[in-house]
Structure formats: C-alpha cells, structure tokens
Amino acid sequence: SSELEAEKYRVLKTAFGFDAFRPGQEPVIDAVLAGNDVLAVMPTGAGKSLCYQAPALVLGGLAVVVSPLIALMDDQVAGLRLDGVQAEAIHSGKSREDNVASWRRVASGEARLLYLAPERLMTARMLAALGRLPVSLVAIDEAHCISQWGHSFRAEYLALGEARAALPKARMIALTATADQSTRDDIVAKLFDGRAETFVAGFDRPNISIAVQDKRDTGEAIERFVAARPDQSGVVYRISRKKVDDTAARLQSAGVKALAYHAGMDAAARAAAQEAFLAERGVVMVATVAFGMGIDKADVRYVVHGDAPGSLEAYYQEIGRAGRDGEPAEALLFYGLEDIRTRRRFIDEQDAAPERKRVESRRLDALVGFCETTACRRQALLAYFGEVSPPCGNCDVCLDPPEVIDATEEARLLLTL
Ligand code: ADP
Ligand code: MG
Ligand code: ZN
C-alpha cells in the first residue's frame, strides 16, 4: 500500500540516515512488505542487512534474525543501536544475566529486532516463547549456511523449518552472498518448501554509458549536451531550486522542450510537468532530487548531473532512470570541487550524531574517488556495491584513457639515448 511505501522511505531516511536505497534493496524490501517469502542473493557489502531491518521497522512487532556468528550479531546490534533502533542479541558469548536482560526487553516489546544463533532458535522453549510475541518477520542471514548445515547438522536445519511452523504469522526472508545455483535451490527447498520469490542482484546496467566531466560553465555545457540530442527524453538534475529554474529557462530559450520540477512548485504544477514528461516525446526534465521516485519511463535517453549528487547510492539510483528499455543511454556528471565542499558543509552543519557525520563523510569520499578514478568508471561504481567486474568499454575512461606517463618506458628510453 502507499502507506507502507511512504513508511519505507521514512525509515530509510530517519532511522538509517540513508538518502537512497542501494541497487537491489528496494525490490527485496517491497516483496517482504507484500508478504512474500523471499530469497535475496546480493554481493557482500551490497547492503543485505537493510533488506530485513527496514521491513522490521515498517512492519512493527518483533523481527527475529538468525545469524551464524556471534561477532556478526554483536556488530549488527551495535550498529542498530547507534541508529537508535532497539536491538538485542542472545547468544553464548554473553553472560546469563545479560541474556536474561535482553530477553526481558524482547518480551516487554521494547526490542524491534532479536538476533539469535540457529541452535538457540531451535530450542522448544525459545520457539514457544516467541510464539507468544508478535513476531512479524524471521530473517535468515548468511543463509548459505543452511545448505552446509543441512548436510552436516540435520537437527539445526530442521529447527529452521520448525521456526516457520511455530511462527505462522511471520514473513520470512533468507539472505546470502553465495550466488551458486545449487546452494540457492537448496535454501529455497529447505526453508520455503521450494517456493520463494528469489532476487539475484546484478547491478550493472551496461547500456548506460558513464562519463564525468570537469565542471566549468555548467549552464552552457548542459545546453550544448541537450541541444546535441534533439527529440530525446532526458533528465537534468540540479542541486537547488534556483539552478533548476535557471537551467530550465535557458534550455527553453534555446528552443528545447524543457520543464522544471522541484519541491518549491505547487503540487498541481509538479503533476502537470511529470505528466508531460511521461506522455510527450522529447521532453527534458530539469529537476532536483525531488523528481524521480516511482517514475517509470522506458525511453529516457540520458541523465545529466549538473551538480554532484549526494552519494554514489543516489548517483546510481538517479542514472538508473535512463535506458530502462535496454537501448543505449547516457549518464553525464559535471564534477567540481566546489560542489564537494558544499556537500561537506551540509554534512558538518547538520544536527546529527558524530558517527553519522563520519559515515556520510566517508560516502562523500567514495563519490570523490569515483569522479577522480583513472580506471574504469563502471568498475569503480560496481566495486563500491560489492560487485567485481572487468573494465566496461562504455565509460569515458575506457573509451578515452587518461594519458599516464610510463616512467619505466621513459627510463628505458633515456638509457638507450
Ligand atoms: P552485506 O550484508 O550485504 O554484506 P551490509 O548490510 O553489511 O552488507 O551493508 C554494507 C554497508 O552498506 C554498510 O556499511 C551499510 O551501512 C551500507 N548501506 C546499506 N544500505 C545503504 C544505503 N541504502 N545507502 C548507503 N549505505 C548503505
Ligand atoms: Mg551481511
Ligand atoms: Zn569503463
């Protein structure tokens, strides 16, 4: 429903402090919220935790997370608490008193998430106790372990099947980074009776060419880019309402069918602009990030960032609006240090915990790294999301490698002179 939808974005921003979902996260979260059994296969570092943590908060009640390692549980609990989310772990690495205290906070309804090892969940007492609580979600993290345990420890594997019977109202999600098909089939067979909505994240969108350009005379550079692509639909992102209005006006006076879109416009004007963009050919939408959520237009041929985006997550999501039809599309980012300084100031001046500021600052560093890389742009982007890939052949660096002086070659030359 649209209520869950709104709550999902609210949780993303306010509970976790993220400005966008990472590739692959949103469809998984949507499927969980829709009540389906889900298997999510995503690379390490892709952000699997959020795929059950966000639904846990949106759904309310208690989420039980099965995790194989004490260290992983403790990390997750510590991270959630930093975000102000009440989470508990009960495991053999803690004292009995600490475990009892954790359980009290679970039983009283204070805790949103409870992390357990599979062998602890399997005990009849635990299942019975959880059966009396409003468990809304069971998440099996590192689910490939089920497959391995299934072969060597039958009892534990059986316990996870029983967890499902003991908690019939809970949705279930299994997550793993192991892409291998037989392991996947095994998980679905053992956990979901052979039926689950399976998501395998491949993040690459090879039809989108990627380029980064020095930011100079942005207004003129954008006009030149757009004018060279008549009759194509495109999106031009700008950081402020004023820049959106200025850029749209400039394009209009150059004869381009450009429209503005930002949160400062009234709802009717925004709806009209969006409608025209979706319905007409060759409309260029000049917008702040307010534009894009839920926009599904197949033939957007380019996405231009006139200013630096907030993060690589936001960048990926925004360029992903191009080329949904699979035909060639372009992503062009204008990169200037002034933008990065502005972003840094945003981070410094916001009223947030130091830890959160550090995280946001690291994310900005990643964006800078992407803009300044001398290796394949797509490789850098996908690597950030945990995906290993070869040079793409469809980015500015691959197509026009920067000249690097080969010192060894030069030295050899000198020796032969
Ligand atoms: P996985 O379990 O897939 O290996 P994690 O869930 O541990 O990955 O997440 C990896 C990192 O990505 C964490 O630092 C997390 O905070 C970060 N992360 C997850 N989702 C987002 C998002 N939507 N935006 C920014 N960072 C994110
Ligand atoms: Mg993980
Ligand atoms: Zn490349």
Alpha carbon distance 332, 114 (integer Å):
44
In sequence order, what DSSP letters do the residues of 221-268 get, joined into one string?
Answer: HHHHHHHTSTT-EEEEE-SSHHHHHHHHHHHHHTT--EEEE-TTS-HH
Could you read off the pLDDT of 44-86 as tens digits, one per residue? Answer: 788 999 999 999 999 999 999 998 888 889 989 999 999 999 9
Ligand 1 in reach of 47 Cβ (< 6 A): yes
Alpha carbon distance 27, 29 (integer Å):
5
> Nearest C-alpha to atom 18 of ligand 1 is from which residue?
47
Model ipTM over 0.85: yes
Q: Ligand 1, residue 79: give the atom nearest the CA.
A: 16
> Nearest C-alpha to atom 12 of ligand 1 is from which residue?
47
Ligand 1 in reach of 355 Cβ (< 6 A): no
The answer to whether 8 and 29 are in contact (CB under 8 A) is yes
The pLDDT value given to residue 179: 62
Containing 173, the helix (H) or strand (E) segment is strand 171-176
Q: Ligand 1, residue 44: give the atom nearest the CA.
A: 4
Give 401's DSSP letter: P
Alpha carbon distance 133, 77 (integer Å):
20
Q: Say yes or no to pLDDT of 361 above 50.
A: yes
248 CA from centroid of ligand 3 (Å):
31
Backbone φ and ψ for 10, nearest 5 degrees, come out as -65, -45
* C-alpha closest to that of 168 among 119, 122, 134, 124: 134
359 CA from centroid of ligand 1 (Å):
11
321 CA from centroid of ligand 3 (Å):
19
Could you read off the pLDDT of 106-136 as tens digits, one per residue? Answer: 999 999 999 998 888 888 899 999 999 999 9
Alpha carbon distance 115, 301 (integer Å):
45
Ligand nearest to the CA of 393: 3
Confidence class of residue 154 from pLDDT cuts 50, 70 and 90?
A: very low
The pLDDT value given to residue 405: 59
Ligand nearest to the CA of 386: 1
Ligand 1 in reach of 49 Cβ (< 6 A): yes
Q: Can you tell me which residue has the tokens 């372990």?
A: 145
Q: The sheet that has 258-261: what strands, in order across it? A: 208-214, 329-335, 300-305, 233-237, 284-287, 258-261
Q: Which of 85-89, 125-129, 176-180, 254-258 comes out lowest in average pLDDT?
A: 176-180
* C-alpha closest to that of 218 among 234, 232, 236, 233: 236
Sort 212 into a burial class: Cβ within 10 Å, 0-12 / 13-18 / 19+.
buried
Alpha carbon distance 309, 284 (integer Å):
19
Q: Say yes or no to pLDDT of 150 above 60.
A: no
- Could you tell me the pTM of the whole model? 0.75
Residue type at 411 in one-letter notation: A
Residue type at 212 in one-letter notation: V
